[in-house]
Each structure stands twice: as C-alpha cells, then as structure tokens.
Amino acid sequence: QDVSVEEQKLKELLEKEYPTNEYTGIGEGKNLIVIQVEALQNFVLFKEIDGFEITPNLNKLVKDAGTLYYDNYFQLVGKGNTSDAEVATLNSLYPSLTEPTNNLYHSNSYYGLPWILRDNGYTSWAFHGYERDFWNRDKAYKAEGFQRFIAQDDFVFDNYIGFGIPDREFFKQSLEYIKELDNIDENPFFAFLITLTSHTPFKMPPNEKYTDLGELEGSLTGNYIHAIHYADMELGRFIENLKEEGLYENSVIAIYGDHFGIAAYDEEEKVNAEKITKERYDYDTMMNIPLLIHVPGEDLNNTIPTVGSQLDFLPTILNIMGIKNEKGIMFGKDLNNKTDESYVFPMGYIKEGSVILKDEMFVRDKALFENSRAFNRKTREEIDIEKFRELSERALEEINLSNYVLKSNYIDRLLDD
Ligand code: GP9
C-alpha cells in the first residue's frame, strides 16, 4: 500500500529526538502557570521614556536568578490572532493559513500541553475574562484537553477597560479559582491565563495612566505604552499574590506575548515606536515577542538567543517539566538545545506576506520565489535571496505538513493507534 509523502514525513517527524540538556526536569513535579499577555512585544522590555520604566516587573523577572529569557522569540499567528497564538503555543502546530484555526478545527483531536500534563497527573484549566465562545474557545479548549474554562461569566466585575475585565480583576479572581484548582488533589496543576486589557486600541482610563508620555501622549504607541505598563503592573501584583498564597515556590511560571500591538507598516506609529527603540522598527522588531520561563529557586539567570517561535514552546517547556510527549507530534524545537534550525516562519497580518528568520538574517515578502528580498537584520544590507532558497522551501514544506495534520485530523489517528 502506498504511503503518501505527507504520511511518510510525519512518520519521520514522530521519530524526532528531543535530547536532554542542563534544564531537563528543573520544573519536575511543580505546577505550571502559563500567562499569555495580550499584544506584549519584546521591544518594550528594558526601555525607559524620560526615566519612566515601561515594564519594571518583567524586567525584574528577567534579571531574577530563576529565569530563562528568550529574546529572539517570534509570534506565529494566522487569521485567528490571539487564539492562533494559543493553538501554536499549546500544540506546537502551525495555525491554519486560511481561517482562524479554531473555526476550522475546534473539533479535531489534539495532544498538546493540557492533554500531556493530564496524562502526567496534572489538572488543566484555562482562564480568560472574555466571552466563552469567542474564537470558539469553549469547543477548542475542550478538544485541547482543558477540564475547565473559567470565562467572562465566571468573573464578577462592573468596571470595564477596553475589551472587558481589567487585568487587575482578572488576576485577582483567577487566583481564587487557582486556589480551588490547587485543592482538587495532591497532584500539580496547569493554569493557562490569557490577559485582555492591553488589547488594541489600548485606551486606558486616566486613573490607570502612570506618567505623561509627552509627545507620544494620545498616539496609538503612547496608548500602547500605558496599557502595557498597566499589564506589567498587574502581572507583578499577581506574582506577589502567588507568593502570599504559598503558590509561587512550587510553580513554574511562563510569560509570553501573543502578537504585536504596533504595526511596522503603519508609518506614523513606526516613527513613534522608533522614539522608544532608538533604532529601526521593522517587521522583525514587530514580530518579536518575549518569552520568560521562571523556575523559582533555580540559579539560571540566562538569556537564550536561539531564534524561535511559539511553535517551540511545547517542546521547550516539556523538557523543563521533565515530561516527554509520548503520543503527539510537535513541529517545534527545544529552544534550550543548540540547533541549526534557527528559523521561524511567522504568518499572517503582514500585508506583504510572510517572514523567515535565520540567525541574523530575515527574508520577507510573500512572493519569496518571485520578487523577494533578504536583508541582514543588523546592517539592513541586502543579501542574495538564493542563499535562503533551501531554507524557505523547507519552511513552506513544514507549514504545509502541519496544515495536513490539522486537515486530516492526524492526531486522532495517532491517539487511536
Ligand atoms: C478576546 C481577545 C481577542 O478574547 O483574546 O484578542 P484578539 O484576537 O482580537 O487579539
């Protein structure tokens, strides 16, 4: 019987080895709290505007001995924005190229982080203070293995900021639910929290603005800075509250951004963003999100410069938790292993198409084989596109293969075997 090319390649991928490294198992047996922060980009970290630190709490966490900070980490979303970031992060699959992944594949079988942790004794809950069925989360979360979804109707609040529940209220009330989750049994838990307040257009009420941004005041970028500062403040408060409740020491805490907030193709905001970055604000800066993995009590304090994307979260965190993926398929790599696979292929949003990054280079434009150009990320000098032909072919092949997994509900067959 003929085995299709895709099936053959997937078989090979299933055999991919994820070697152990110095971080293997440092989070073993601990709870896992993953926080996806709305529109958090990497360029705001360690930046000041007239002495006003934009993200003091994230900065403090990066410098903490127990933290690994991934500063070359990139978004990977398609038409499903925030929800696609969730799919990629939890499942190590590329989002759909055509529709929000949760629209097309919410009833697929998955075997990502919630399921894997459940198979290892954990209880997995998701938390997001917006409408339960938005982005089909109610269905998708079930398919992805969450046992309970704490959504907008589980929170009590009467003050709205932007899209809905303010992060302060969200974290405060989520903590009460987390205490409940912690008490279910003796086993550790997995809590997946998605914040909301720093959603575009980032308009914060005057009493939640903590500085005057001068010439940036009133611009989208200025509003973004206020909103991200607020999100950072509430994150810091949440971590302190975890400490008070005795839930910090025994938990691994991962924090990352879902996607960009300030578009590099918006000429006006690009100029505003450059007032903060003090260097070119281009697609690679725009797509660059931070990832922090914090393991209390460890002496890590390391910045990992490996180029990666949300696709890489699952293998990276599993290794840290000392858990192997025994059944599913992962397209990502462990960011803590030295690798020559230093490319990512972020999708979506970008009007011109897609981006490929490799080490210090990036290639952009959809018409990669027709009219595309490549640049050195530091010097902006143009590079011969031919140098990237093989890489781009590999990336496209990989994306198509991952989409085949979704389209054919491949994981369902894997779980049946
Ligand atoms: C609301 C929020 C949506 O559920 O997560 O964010 P978006 O996808 O619009 O960035």
Distance CA 99, CA 143 (A): 18
Cβ 147 vs Cβ 191: under 8 Å: no
Q: What is the mean pLDDT of residues 312-317?
A: 97
pLDDT at 1 over 70: no
Residue in the structure block whose two tokens are 């031919």: 386
Which residue has its alpha carbon closest to ligand 1 atom 3? 82
Which residue has its alpha carbon closest to ligand 1 atom 5? 82
Which residue has its alpha carbon closest to ligand 1 atom 4? 130
Contact residues for 132 (Cβ-Cβ < 8 A; gap 6+)? 138, 149, 151, 152, 153
Distance CA 172, CA 136 (A): 25
Distance of CA 287 from the midpoint of ligand 1 (Å): 17
Cβ 188 vs Cβ 31: under 8 Å: yes
Region for 175 from its dihedrals, namely left if φ exceeds 0, alpha if ψ lies in -120 to 50, beta otherwise: alpha
* Structure-block tokens of residue 85: 């970031």
Mean pLDDT of the chain: 91
pLDDT at 16 over 50: yes
Judged on CB neighbours under 10 Å (0-12, 13-18, 19+), 63 is exposed
Cβ 230 vs Cβ 203: under 8 Å: no
Distance CA 192, CA 122 (A): 13
The ligand 1 atom at the shortest distance from the C-alpha of residue 258 is 10
Q: Which of 146-160, 195-209, 335-349 has the lowest mean pLDDT?
A: 335-349
DSSP string, 49-67: ETTEES-HHHHHHHHSTTE
Distance of CA 134 from the midpoint of ligand 1 (Å): 8
Distance of CA 239 from the midpoint of ligand 1 (Å): 23
Contact residues for 365 (Cβ-Cβ < 8 A; gap 6+)? 352, 353, 354, 371, 372, 373
Residue in the structure block whose two tokens are 């018409």: 367
H or E stretch including 34?
Answer: strand 31-37
Q: Indicate which residues carry an active-site annotation.
A: 82
Distance CA 365, CA 392 (A): 12
**Is the model more confident about 417 or about 120?**
120
Distance CA 81, CA 95 (A): 10
Residue 48's Cα: distance from chain center in Å?
24
Distance of CA 376 from the midpoint of ligand 1 (Å): 33
Residues having CB within 6 Å of any atom of ligand 1:
81-82, 130, 134, 163, 194, 196, 199
Predicted TM-score of the model (pTM): 0.95
Quote the ipTM score.
0.98
pLDDT at 53 over 50: yes
Sign of CA dihedral 359, 363, 364, 365: negative
Phi first, then psi, for residue 71 (nearest 5°) are -100, 0
The ligand 1 atom at the shortest distance from the C-alpha of residue 128 is 4
Distance CA 335, CA 415 (A): 26
Tell me which residue of 133, 132, 114, 136 sits closest to 123, measured CA to CA. Answer: 114
Q: Which of 21-30, 75-84, 136-145, 331-340 has the lowest mean pLDDT?
A: 331-340
E strands along 60-200, which residues? 67-74, 123-128, 148-150, 189-194
Report pLDDT digits (tens) over 58-87: 999 999 999 999 998 999 888 899 999 999
Collapsed DSSP state (helix, strand, coil) of residue 377? coil
Q: What is the 3-state secondary structure (H, E, C) of 215-233?
A: HHCCCHHHHHHHHHHHHHH
**Quick one: pLDDT at residue 363?**
64
